[in-house]
Structure 1
Amino acid sequence: MSELPDEIRRSLPDFCEGGYLPSTVPPGLDGQTAPEAGQSPLQASGLNARYEIDSELYLRGDVRLQQAGFRVTGSEARYNQTTGSVSIEGPLTSRGEGFLLTGEQADYDVNSGRVDINTATFLLHGPEIRGSAGRLSRTAEDRVQIRQGSLTTCAPHSNDWAIVASDISLDQGEGVGTAKHVRLEISDIPVFYWPYASFPIDDRRKTGFLYPSFGTSNAGSGAFLSVPYYMNLAPHYDATLTPQYIHGRGLFTEAEGRYLSSLGESVLQVGYAGNDVEFEDEFPGEDGERWGLDFSTRAAFGGGWSGYGDYSVVSDDDYLSDLNRTLEINRATHLLRRGGVRYRDSSQYFETYLSGYQTLSEFIADENVPYSQLPEVVYGASVDAGPTVASLESQYTYFYRDNADLAGLDRANGQRFRVLPELALPMRALWGYARPSVSVDYTRYELEDYALGDPGFDRTVPVAEWDSGLYFDRQSSLFDIPYNQTLEPRLYYAWADAEADQEFIPDFDTTIRSFSFDRLFQRNRFSGGDRVGDTNQLTVALTSRFNDLLTGTERARFSVGQVHYYDDREVTLAGQGASDTSDSPLAGEMILRPLAGLEIRTSGLWEPDTHKTEEGRSQLVFHSPDYRYLASVGHTYRRNEFEQTDIGGVFPVTDRVSLIGRWVHDSQLDRTVGSLAGLEYNDCCWSVQLVHQNYLTDDEELESRMLFQIQLKGLGGSGGSSSKISEAISGFDERERRRFGGR
């Protein structure tokens, strides 16, 4: 380690014992690169030489030989001119583009370029593979044959793991290694044996078995073992087959296929269990055959056009929690099926799609099942007309749901057409801006199974808005760091003359927006298109920023604002959304970045009348420059509803051992609703993670599972703990990328 240049030593992680110097090709004896072996003369030099004409050349002392890509130094050499063979005595060293060979004795064929070395060691710089061999043959510039050898990707002088085999072949041209009678040794102790193995030696894809995965949980899937098999079928498509055995459930198989065309990528994932015994016992009368499917595709057609598709389906509500390993579907209550095309240019956009869902949770009532859009068509455009800007947003949707068992508004299906033309006068200067605008929010319905009157009706709402702001700044310094402070007051006025009674309109896709600082500048308190809120309001807000002039980083931002209502709000959705208060709660947010890697965020709502906090969310996130240290602390609060505290992080105990943990506590329930605790060992060439996780299921029970993952650098890994830890701890995925992205 101490022999490495400072620049390379500083780039190595703390848990590495050493590294390798970059590969260099020694110059030829004449300073030129020679042609291929067999077509170029052998160049040789030594301190002493004896030459027999047309017979033999004998060199002794600081011997150097070169022919094409072969270069070697040794103590003695004999060159037989008749046979073209060279015998070299060591200790010898041979360097080339991307490799280093050493040995005690070698034979070299001038005509073929083959070199055979006895008692050899080798280093391939690209994949950082090194090893030893009883006999090593370099049969071509990118091919090496090893007899009675071993190899590893560990740092110099470290053999935490090694592959030992009777015959090893390394093909750098194909990026593939093969071996016979293979055993994996951990700290010189054999732990696994294969009669034959094929493995990648670079980043190129290779057909073959991947590392097995295994794990266990106290619910759902139980203990399992899987052995994935990867198939590199062609440069533009591949597949992975994952048969696995699950205790109590039997054989379960998953498969993934990926296809890349000139338009984009498509991915198909399926899972199948033919006879799930535990599922049959839990649900008498149900078939033990279970399956899941997830398909996604993306395409870019050119000229601003693109297409997409997403389709997910499972055989039953419990499939995801019981069986799913590879389907890219998180635990969900609705599975989306959506596909369509888009167009966008500088002045307009267009999209049309079909969308639907599979509802999984049995706790969702029929009237709360989301509607399908069959289809939805969206078009928008904007045009500069002198100093004004004219724009248009429009949407056509046919909503459908199986409402045969429902009554009233919940039974309705039908068409909705909505259009919002707007005329605005944007004005902008360095010191501020103003944007007055007028628009019309028009909606037309044509309904089916509608029992409250004429199924065809419309709604027209005139809207006026004025958004304006000023920009002040000054420069100063703090702790000898120059910064720029801004002061940005903002006024936003909105008026919408909507009819109070809109309860005769079905609720196809509408919800009440949650209130926050960002919502201060939106005139409609409803999302979706089935309610247009009546409003006559003025928002007053103030933002101040502190920008570091040396780095350009926004070190701090403080924002606060409030809405004053001139009229009561009377439009409701399912009886909610109306209010007669004259002022909203104070909404604020704060972001602090005092140090690189440290960010503190807080936001909330405070009610001046009651002097109580209605909502609050605070979070501290920290990571060291190398992401070895990770920490996050969060608190979420909504008055009379819930309060949760979230603490997580990764803390190195030594250069190689780190503790991993997360804890989520619900104060209202007075219980832990999620936890994760584990240990990680890191070396320069391998790592292991062992994690215990608890998480709350839909039926309010804590499910426990053990997660395990081992990584051998250069040979991949097994288990699945990293993905779960990344979901729980901010920054862990970046930590993984840096750790195995290279030394």
Structure 2
Amino acid sequence: MLSFVFPAAGQPPDAASIDWRPRAELPPEQQARLPLFCRGGYVSPEVGGEATITGEGGPVNASALSARYEMDTRLLLEGDVRLTQAGTTLTGDSAVYDQASGQVDIAGPMTSRSPGMLLTGDQALYDANSGYFSIEDATFLFHQSEMRGQASFISRPEDQIIHVEGGYLTTCAPDRNDWSLVASDIRLNRAEGYGTAKHVRLQVKDVPVFYWPWASFPIDDRRKTGFLYPTFGTSNTGRGMYLSTPYYLNLAPHYDATLTPQYMHGRGLFSEVEGRYLSPFGESVLQVGYIDDDEEYRKEFPGEDGERWGLDFQSQANFGGGWTGYADYSAVSDNDYLSDLSQTLDISNATQLLRRGGVRYQDDWQMFEAYVAGYQVLTDRNIDPYSQLPEVVYGATVPAGIFELGLESQYTRFDRDNEDLTGLNRAVGQRTRVIPELALPLRTIWGYTRPSVSLDQTWYNLEDYELGDPDFERTVPVVEWDSGIYLDRTTTLFGSDYNQSLEPRLYYVYSDAEEDQDYIPNFDAGLRSFRFDNLFQPNRFVGGDRVGDTNQVTVALTSRFNSLANGAETARFSLGQVFYYEDRDVTLNGRGGGTQSESSYAGEAVLRPLDTLDIRVSGLWDHREHVTEEGRSVLAYHSPDYRYLVSLGHTYSRGTTPDNRFEQMDIGGIVPVTDNISLIGRWVFDSQLDNTVGTLAGLEYNNCCWSFQLVQQRYQTDGEDVEHRVVFQVRFKGLGGSGGTESTLSDAFYGYEQRERQLFGVRP
């Protein structure tokens, strides 16, 4: 049975224009996802019809203004023809259906619509048995990827395969081709999510800028083997001019690789490879770089052969049952490799490379970890750090009636090359440390108290020790009493309701450590930084080779403001001070001792008046001299859509002398000046040097089909040298991009990675 509808007047527009809607006409949920610099989007209507003809491919739905049967041969349809079969709908001015062959010839301006795809053209040939169709002078649109284009001829030789001859494609909005890929032959595989093309030109505003004899590219979010866009840039140090052409290998669903051959001016051909492997237990990543003959390196270091390499391996595994494993191993051929060559290794700013691997177990009451660790040092220091070969750590906390039993234990063998060392620096060997604890934890809804007694017992079994018996021990009893009260009330500030807490805390610690511990080698000890979080630690040293003598009490107060509407913490203020009842005699390299009876005030404030604004202030204030010893202030703001990123920072350390005083100020931001253009800038000023030590300036252009970033960076290295470089990035929506501003900008701006995901749906 045929149904008849009135014909549409005039010639239909191209495929993209049919389903394009301005921003104001899109569904509300689609508008909310659309960045401000996008003018609109595509809407795909449902496909439907009535069954009137039967072919081998399934029922064919047909409608027209008039129809005429030629008995057992043909069906002729005239006026607003509509044919639907297996989710595909074709429309035209007229159609002839051959019953014997199942072939349908459609004339006049026609369209073909299937889920996620729309095609238009002058005329079409459709096979109702196989689903094959061909369209002349065609246009096309894929809704999911927002990819559109036109061609002299389009065909569908099989399901999910589209063949485009003499055409182009782009993801730009209708009526503007800011960029396009033009090719003599394009094959789109919708089932696999990729396309291939022959004799491809990348055109910007109809101007050819790049040519490939053959190219493969994604048409959705799935990974695909093929060339990535080339990267090139320049720097006044290390690399100079460089050009790279990455090639991505999608080897299997659980592993892939990226090969990056690149030419560096003055150095030669340098290649990097990154491999990623995903197992049922976790993920592993291996990165390797190699150059056979670095010409610039041979000139700088006569006698060297110029062969250079670097690698970085990282792995994380979850074995289940509380067991995990990890490995992190980095190595380079020479100290200058990272600054001269590396572009993909995640270790480019390191001065020493960690090699560490181990296993870890944790449940509700105990923890176990065993690992080995070592380092490759990239500076000309005389003494290398110790390796741990191995280190084994075990800790547990168990209830025992009203008491709580705790245990911390550690065994480590420390080793390093000590052939040219003397004194305590020459010592290597084993250290075993056990700290049992007995505590009485008492808690109520309004507060808690926890007195405890522990015994810090350490045994040393050393080699190459020159100060006496290499086997000795140290025993330090420690008494702690930690107490706190929780008080709260409801209050109203600036028209909003809050729960305000008042949390006084009293922490006492007594450690009967021997005053002189300078006979003990320093394998891993350091002085703990003095800040609010560390006011409640029993030992002012980190590591296991120094235990501080102390008799002190910490008095602190914290107040929090939590919104009654959503429970979020809007503000937190904390202030504390330590009172010493005895002098501190144990030192490490002359630091850590003291005779004053009270410490400076340590405080911090965290405010989040808006979901998009964070303000953090911390510092130390010496009330005796009325001076600030240390301070750090940070203000970070981002707009809800992350187009605005603004940060202000100030860091200050008074130091012990004017020569080691440190003070820096920085301000940075990414600020849009129009819907499409944003300015990028950051400035770092060192007050002690009375000099700018870093600047970053650039601009960003965005529209819905491409973006461009150009950034000039200048910064002072550890010496007085100044490095400057120009980096850029061009991103074509749906095809990726070239250049590399991500690492530079993500290091400079808090929230940059969230901004990339929000605006572009990508992860830097």
Q: TM-score, normalised by structure 1?
A: 0.97
Listed one character per residue, the Cα deviations across residues 659-693 of structure 1 (whole Å, up to 9, x for unaligned) are 11111111111112222111111111111111111
Q: Map of 1:295-334 to 2, 5 A cutoff?
A: 295-334=313-352
Letter in 2 for 1:647: I
Please state if 1:457 is matched with 2:472: yes
Listed one character per residue, the Cα deviations across residues 284-311 of structure 1 (whole Å, up to 9, x for unaligned) are 2233111111111222222222211111
Distance in 2 of aligned mates of 1:696 and 1:335: 23
TM superposition shift of 1:604? 0.5
Q: Secondary structure at the match of 1:709?
A: strand
Q: Secondary structure at the match of 1:669?
A: coil
Who is 1:260 aligned against?
278
Q: Secondary structure at the match of 2:59?
A: coil
Q: Secondary structure at the match of 2:573?
A: strand
Q: Secondary structure at the match of 2:609?
A: coil
Please state if 1:539 is matched with 2:561: no
Please state if 1:5 is matched with 2:16: no
TM superposition shift of 1:62? 2.6
Contact preservation (8 Å) 1:680, 1:688: yes
Distance in 2 of aligned mates of 1:287 and 1:514: 45
Please state if 1:162 is matched with 2:180: yes
Who is 2:538 aligned against?
523
Distance in 2 of aligned mates of 1:716 and 1:460: 62
Please state if 1:72 is matched with 2:90: yes
Letter in 2 for 1:515: F
Distance in 2 of aligned mates of 1:24 and 1:346: 54
Who is 2:49 aligned against?
28
Give the number of equivalent residue pairs.
735
Q: 2:745 aligns with which of 721, 725, 729?
A: 725
Q: Secondary structure at the match of 1:593?
A: strand
Who is 1:99 aligned against?
117
Contact preservation (8 Å) 1:17, 1:156: no
Contact preservation (8 Å) 2:663, 2:686: yes
* Unmatched tracts of structure 1, length 5 or more: none
Two-structure CA RMSD over aligned residues (Å): 1.6
Who is 1:655 aligned against?
675
Q: Which moved more, 1:713-722 or 1:276-285?
A: 276-285
Listed one character per residue, the Cα deviations across residues 144-173 of structure 1 (whole Å, up to 9, x for unaligned) are 111111111122333111111111110011
Letter in 2 for 1:114: Y
TM superposition shift of 1:6? 4.2
Q: Map of 1:58-457 to 2, 5 A cutoff?
A: 58-362=76-380, 364-366=381-383, 369-457=384-472
Who is 2:40 aligned against?
18
Q: TM-score, normalised by structure 2?
A: 0.94
Please state if 1:563 is matched with 2:570: no
Which 4+ runs in 1 deviate beyond 3 A?
none
Who is 1:552 aligned against?
567
Letter in 1 for 2:514: E
Letter in 2 for 1:401: R
Who is 2:719 aligned against?
699
Distance in 2 of aligned mates of 1:585 and 1:90: 87
Letter in 1 for 2:448: Y
Q: Map of 1:637-652 to 2, 5 A cutoff?
A: 637-639=652-654, 640=658, 641-652=661-672
TM superposition shift of 1:110? 1.3
TM superposition shift of 1:57? 1.0
Distance in 2 of aligned mates of 1:496 and 1:570: 12
Q: Secondary structure at the match of 2:42?
A: coil
Q: 2:593 aligns with which of 575, 578, 593?
A: 578
Q: Which moved more, 1:61-70 or 1:558-567?
A: 61-70
TM superposition shift of 1:69? 2.8
TM superposition shift of 1:30? 5.5
Listed one character per residue, the Cα deviations across residues 165-224 of structure 1 (whole Å, up to 9, x for unaligned) are 111110011111011121111111111122211111122221111111111111111111
Contact preservation (8 Å) 1:19, 1:156: no
Contact preservation (8 Å) 2:467, 2:519: yes
Distance in 2 of aligned mates of 1:406 and 1:726: 42
Q: Secondary structure at the match of 2:309?
A: strand
TM superposition shift of 1:25? 3.2
Listed one character per residue, the Cα deviations across residues 110-138 of structure 1 (whole Å, up to 9, x for unaligned) are 12111111221111112221111111112
Q: Secondary structure at the match of 2:425?
A: helix
Please state if 1:683 is matched with 2:700: no
Contact preservation (8 Å) 1:69, 1:141: no
* Unmatched tracts of structure 2, length 5 or more: 1-21
TM superposition shift of 1:596? 2.3
Distance in 1 of aligned mates of 2:317 and 2:607: 40
Letter in 1 for 2:48: P
Contact preservation (8 Å) 1:24, 1:98: no
Quickly say closer, same or farther: Cα 1:203–1:451, change in 2 above 3 A. same
Q: Map of 1:600-611 to 2, 5 A cutoff?
A: 600-611=615-626
Identity %: 65
Who is 2:631 aligned against?
616
Contact preservation (8 Å) 2:57, 2:130: no
Distance in 2 of aligned mates of 1:434 and 1:140: 75
